[in-house]
Structure 1
């Protein structure tokens, strides 16, 4: 199903179920937040996000749509996430502190620039909660993540990435994708994976690679562990 959604590109990948705090300071996105807050139904306070490819700035205006989606001189990934605004606080200077939750995936086909803020022509992508995923793959991913969490906690000198993992394989795959400390290209490839089985298989490989890297260079990953959260709602 295709539709037009307000678009708020970010320099990170957001996954379904992921809770993200954002500081909104640009005038166009402040306008977007104000319009979302004017919507009486909280469930309809939705917009889209796609990640900005590494190496591009975020302050330029949007450029025209094309096969390579652009944000001025910036290149945007085509698969992103539908976000719902769940909390908002206006600061004295007119900026906002907001909290958003990922509600599902989208594929961007075009960027529209005629409004006060950019919008995207998007296709809403379905989930695969009813698909069959091999139980042994689910358990392997859980086991590897527990080893990864222990190894990371030892490096930090305290417990990190604590919490109960979901039982549902699809929710589990999104949770692990959200909280495993991975570089942006790996996170984007997980978002683009079209089924749970593939996503969990990719995660097991990435977790092994991360643990091997920590064994070779025992230093803390350059990602803030507490930057995002997970919400199954």
Structure 2
């Protein structure tokens, strides 16, 4: 079943469970935030995002080409500055498939369908290998620049898959492939392979950590 959602394309890939801070300054997205704040039920203050494949987030020619798989975001915090811009925080919920992007009267709209996650038991060996590979990557990064992570990894396979996908520093296309993977098993196998490649890159070029080579920078909007 398809629904219409306000859309806020970003120059980064967002994964379910991520907290996304944004500084909103462009008129159309300020109107989007005002629209959300007018919704009485905070749980219904939702909008969609997809990563921008080519183009920019701002201006008349922004977001010229976007990926089709993204996430539903829920607005959780919003602060208005004196100049009318906003600092907001949104939390990513389920994945979505963008069927059609529409310009909308005040802000972009999208026709989207929620993508359910398949309920499949993840093999123990897939879980163990993913955890071990991330631990090795974390050790390697700590030796290079100090531990960039904190906390412990979740035990739930779905949460683990999303957490490793979000934490692994990768180019846009590879992060998108993790978002599009069908289920936790496929996602964990893919992130394990990508982390292994990162470890090889760190060993080959120790003076240039993989986190700083050809990485997609965060851009607010």
Please give the TM-score of this superposition, normalised by the length of structure 2.
0.92
Q: Rate the CA distance shift 1:116–1:36 in 2: closer, same or farther, 3 A.
A: same
Gaps of 5+ in 1: 63-70, 228-233
The 2-side partners of 1:162 and 1:204 are apart by 19
Please show how residues 140-155 of structure 1 align to structure 2 within 5 Å: 140-155=129-144
Of 187, 197, 200, the residue aligned with 2:185 is 197
**SS where residue 35 of structure 2 aligns?**
helix
The 2-side partners of 1:60 and 1:96 are apart by 18
Q: What is the total number of aligned residue pairs between the two structures?
A: 214
Gaps of 5+ in 2: none
Stretches of 4+ aligned residues off by more than 6 angstroms:
none
Of 94, 117, 142, the residue aligned with 2:107 is 117
- Which digits, 9 at most, give the CA deviation of each residue in 1:114-167, with x for residues without a partner? 320000001111123x311111100100010011011111111x2211211111
Matching residue of 2:96:
106
Matching residue of 1:32:
32
The 1-side partners of 2:59 and 2:32 are apart by 17
Matching residue of 1:5:
5
1:56 CA drift (Å):
2.1
- 1:43 to 2:43 alignment: yes
Of 151, 162, 187, the residue aligned with 1:163 is 151
The 2-side partners of 1:207 and 1:2 are apart by 35
Matching residue of 1:15:
15
The 2-side partners of 1:43 and 1:155 are apart by 42
**SS where residue 52 of structure 2 aligns?**
coil
1:10 CA drift (Å):
0.1
Matching residue of 1:57:
56
Contact 2:98 2:112 in 1 (8 A): yes
- Which digits, 9 at most, give the CA deviation of each residue in 1:77-116, with x for residues without a partner? 0000000001111111111111111101000111111320
Tell me how large the CA RMSD over aligned residues is: 1.7
The 2-side partners of 1:79 and 1:91 are apart by 32
Matching residue of 2:122:
133
